[in-house]
């Protein structure tokens, strides 16, 4: 099964990315996109960041419970760094 996506992430006839279903593979879906389109998409995402502090933004937008989960992940990832 193939799905085509435009720059807004919604299915369109004019597309720049293709999602391919691969049920027998390690990931069910894979996306194919030209490198130049991917770079443009990532640049747009970076320009859309409207916060100064990621953890504070998570708490404000998704609530303290979600921020706590992110905090636990951050602490877990930081532990090996502190041990070296």
At residue 60, does pLDDT exceed 70? yes
Host domain of residue 31: 2-47
pLDDT tens digits for range 3-43: 555 555 555 545 677 888 888 989 888 888 889 888 887 88
Mean pLDDT throughout 51-72? Answer: 95
Q: DSSP assignment of 4-61, as one string?
A: EE-TTSSB-SS-SEEEEE-TTSSSSEEEEE-HHHHHHHHHHHHHT---S-HHHHHHHH
Q: Specify the pTM.
A: 0.57
Domain count across the chain: 2
Q: Are residues 32 and 68 in the same domain?
A: no
Give kind and range of the element (H or E) at residue 2: strand 2-5
Q: Are residues 42 and 8 in the same domain?
A: yes
């Amino acid at each position: 099964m193939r799905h085509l996506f435009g720059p807004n992430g919604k299915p369109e006839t004019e597309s720049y990315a293709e999602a391919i279903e691969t049920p027998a593979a390690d990931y069910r879906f894979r996306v194919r996109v030209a490198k130049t389109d991917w770079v443009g998409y990532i640049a747009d995402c970076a320009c859309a960041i409207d916060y100064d502090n990621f953890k504070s933004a998570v708490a404000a937008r998704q609530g303290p419970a979600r921020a706590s989960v992110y905090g636990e992940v951050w602490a877990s990832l930081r532990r090996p760094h502190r041990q070296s």
